[in-house]
Amino acid sequence: MTIETDLPYSRHTLANGIQLVHRHTNSPVAHCGIMINAGTRDEQTKENGMAHFIEHCIFKGTLKRKAFHILNRIDGVGGELNAYTTKEETCIYASFLDEYNERVLDLMADIVFHSQFPEKEIEKEKSVITDEINAYRDSPAEQIVDDFEQLIFGNHPLGKQILGTPSRIQSFTSADVKRFIDRTYATDMMTIACVGNMNCDLWFGLCEKYFGTAAFKSGKRTKRPFKTCVPQTKIEHHGTYQAHAVIGTVAYDYNSPYRMAFSLLNNILGGGAMNSLLNMHIREKYGFTYSLESNYIPYSDSGLFAVYAGTDPKYIDRTLDLIRTELALLMSKPLKTKTFSQYKQQLKGQLAIQFDSNQNEMLAMAKSMLNYGRIETLRDTYRLIDSISAEELQRVACEIFAPERLSLIEFL
């Protein structure tokens, strides 16, 4: 099977350092987003939760627009405006009919560079975010993942919870918000990406019109690297109907030459496919779990590998033993050639399906430019996948899955 992957991308950098990347499509629906290299790990001690707090409050009013006008500007013409925060990025993005490209860019520039964060609106949003935090606390399957990151990274900035805590959120003021933005929202650490039916030169011109006037601000700041992970076991008694567990450790950063090999390994072990090893050998064979998956998150200077399982309390120990058995088998010997080839093709197909969504592609374009200063195309990714050997996969498994490296957290 041959999948066309040489997609034409156009790139440009504004004088203030903002990177632009565009791909033309014939779809009537366009997708555009601005990704900023500022996230939870950039927060100072008293700012935990600030990056996510800003994601909420950035829509609450600018010099020329009130909150209603911001929310109605895109949604009112049938589009969708949204945002998200990670440990290392903040992203504001929209999907809309392509005729509204200029409207979207005008609005995005306005909220990124001219938001006022009125105290009245901030106070209202504190309650909203506190409810969001409490909703997470009511969901052990979500809370345990955050707690596991804290267990792994400890007091390092990567260990901070994205949502923060209610008490910390309540302390934020408009001045605090503006200080964080002034320190972290640097123009040379921003990327704007678009997939849509507009000539790239016209789109670049609109970006110049609305974003080119922003003053240059350098984002070259030192991030405290994460160096040492001490394996730990933590057991908490929550009295829920289901037991939850996460087992894992630190993994490769997104610049590591082993990143793609470990992405493939994680997909084989417990990715989203129904034929993953964990799903076939635990869920399907024994019926112990409904939720069972492994995840790999690469960061700029570290990474996280975690296997999550939710099961009846009487099966939790057996489930963890079976997970460890699968890890040990992947360390014990290389996969057979035919099986390994099939797993490679599976990952390629999954990536192609992800990129079939123009919104997913737009977000991937922005992240690739932000992280690498270039577009990592599907063809580039396929070459990396093809270059992985079964022996390399085994070596990576031996390094990351080593029992003495693993940490465990359980909610019983």
3: pLDDT strictly greater than 50: no
- Asked if residue 42 belongs to a domain, the reply is yes
- Asked if residue 225 belongs to a domain, the reply is no
- Asked if residue 84 belongs to a domain, the reply is yes
Task: Tell me, yes or no, whether 26 and 132 share the same domain.
Answer: yes
Task: Tell me, yes or no, whether 248 and 114 share the same domain.
Answer: no
Domain that holds residue 99: 10-211
Instruction: Write down the pLDDT at residue 200.
Output: 93
Residue range 29-62, pLDDT digits in tens: 999 999 999 999 999 989 999 999 999 999 999 9
Task: Tell me, yes or no, whether 189 and 240 share the same domain.
Answer: no
Task: Tell me, yes or no, whether 152 and 33 share the same domain.
Answer: yes
- Asked if residue 308 belongs to a domain, the reply is yes
Residues near 27 by Cβ (< 8 Å), separated by ≥ 6? 98, 196, 197, 358
**What number is the average pLDDT over the span 253-278?**
95
Cα 329 off chain centre by: 29
Task: Tell me, yes or no, whether 21 and 123 share the same domain.
Answer: yes
Whether 310 and 283 have beta carbons less than 8 Å apart is answered as no
The number of folded domains in the chain is 2
Residue range 182-198, pLDDT digits in tens: 999 999 999 999 999 99
220: pLDDT strictly greater than 90: no
- Produce one character per residue of 18-57: b if its CB has 16 or more CB atoms within 10 Å, e if not: bbbbbbbbeeebbbbbbbbbbbbbbbeeebbbbbbbbbbb
Task: Tell me, yes or no, whether 195 and 262 share the same domain.
Answer: no
CATH number of the structural domain spanning residue 133: 3.30.830.10
